[in-house]
Amino acid sequence: MSLTRKLRRLQPHLLRVTGILVSLCMLSLLIASSVDWDPAYRFTYSWLEYTDADGSPEAVCNCSAILQGDDQVLEHTKLLTFTKDFKKRVQIPDEYYINATQDCRKFKLSRKYITFPLSEEEDNFPLAYSMVVHHKNFERLLRAIYAPQNVYCVHVDKKAKDSVFAAIMAITSCFPNVFMVSRPVDVVYAAWPRVQADLNCMADLYNASTTWKYFINLCGQDFPLKTNLEIVRSLRSLNGKNSMESEQMPSGKKWRHKRIHSLFQSLQDTGQTKSPAPFNLPIMSGNAYIVVNRGYVRSVLEDSQILALIEWAKDTYSPDEFLWATIQRMPHVPGSLWPSAKYDQTDMTAIARLVKWAWHEGSEGLLEAVYPVCHGNHVRSICVYGVGDLQWMIGQHHLFANKFDTDMDPIAIYCLEKYLRHKALSS
């Protein structure tokens, strides 16, 4: 019998086998999709938990006791963070990321990235993140907020070391929904380029996807206080509103937008008076961090009044601390609030960012205090959190906190990472 005739006789059998295999594949996909959304099934994801067996130097600390505020453990942990040997051991060199990401699958497995949606609720509510960073701690932040349905724009300061830039480039190359900004800028403290970095990411994110619901901007010293599911639920509860600090401008800050500043290596006050804001817009006080819907971002990119305000703000001091807050009080902007003082929102009532300012700290029960004293260090009057701040922080309603620094207290981030991952896999 010829080979052709044999193949013809086998063809019906091959078709039946192929049909069975296809059916089995479809059935397995249906089972997998139904299981993915079953909360009880999350307990089988034990391989995604952060455990002491991972070999992290910080594992010598008792995170459970730290989060419960155990004074003895906190004191021991704080002493550990002062030792040079420990600080050296916890740092991950740039070369590790450059080499490890040559095999993206192995890198994501070893770093325990969550590469599938943990719930249908999260899958149906994708988010967009702008991440303005300048050092490799970016990877731990990305890992803490990563979800495959979200989209991430990464802006690396052009002044960053070549090795840092190479490491971050290598990391982003492993994820289809994480990309480098198309137009990077030199970020200068308190100057316009800090805003421009976020604007460039806003534009890239808006064009990259039409499905995301909310935009959140981050810097390299931020870290989440909530899981992705908790963030989604907080944002859904806003019912389309935005959330950020937006208050009447204190008289002591008005010089920032009333005098012209020029940028040459650093920001300089020229002493010249600026013209009033376009359209007589009331300039509000706020900060650099926002949680806004897609319509707000569209307005920032396209609205003629806002574009005029942006041009006007380019020669002011720290425009990120009034621009977003001012746009938030323009009634025609989606998700905004009326400009009346009755609608003022402080950084403590907004959900965007938890920040401890030195002059608002105080002992418990002190009437003037907004929050407890900082257990870390202060940089530009802002608390760089230590492990002693964690118990208070995780009880707040904010989505993110600022500032963290692994050079000052790596254990604070480590314990927060473990806490959030366990919560994400068990809730």
Nearest to 406 by CA among 426, 427, 382, 377: 377
For 266-280, 286-300, 340-354, which range has the lowest pLDDT when averaged over its residues? Answer: 266-280
pTM of this structure: 0.89
The CA distances from residue 355 to 90, 223, 309, 376, in Å, are 25, 11, 27, 13
- Residue range 117-130: average pLDDT? 98
- Looking at residue 28, its pLDDT comes to 39
**Distance from the Cα of residue 327 to its chain's centroid:** 21
Residue with tokens 């025609």: 332
- Looking at residue 44, its pLDDT comes to 67
- Looking at residue 233, its pLDDT comes to 98
pLDDT one-digit tens code per residue, 305-361: 999 999 999 999 999 999 999 999 999 999 999 999 999 999 999 999 999 999 999
Average pLDDT, the chain: 91
E strand intervals along 176-274 = 178-180, 214-219, 222-224, 247-248, 259-264, 266-273
- Looking at residue 187, its pLDDT comes to 93
Nearest to 203 by CA among 184, 225, 182: 182
pLDDT one-digit tens code per residue, 356-377: 999 999 998 798 999 999 999 9
Does 26 have pLDDT greater than 90?
no
| Residue 251's pLDDT band (cuts 50, 70, 90) | very high
Pull the structure tokens for residue 89: 């051991």
- Can you tell me the distance from the alpha carbon of 197 to that of 389, in angstroms, rounded to the nearest whole number? 30
- Can you tell me the distance from the alpha carbon of 309 to that of 315, in angstroms, rounded to the nearest whole number? 11
**In contact, 63 and 414? CB cutoff 8 Å:** yes
**In contact, 193 and 167? CB cutoff 8 Å:** no
**In contact, 228 and 240? CB cutoff 8 Å:** no
The b/e string for 413-423 (b: 16+ C-beta within 10 A; e otherwise) is bbbbbbbbbbe
Residues labelled as active-site residues: 321
- Residue range 12-28: average pLDDT? 42
Nearest to 116 by CA among 44, 49, 33: 33
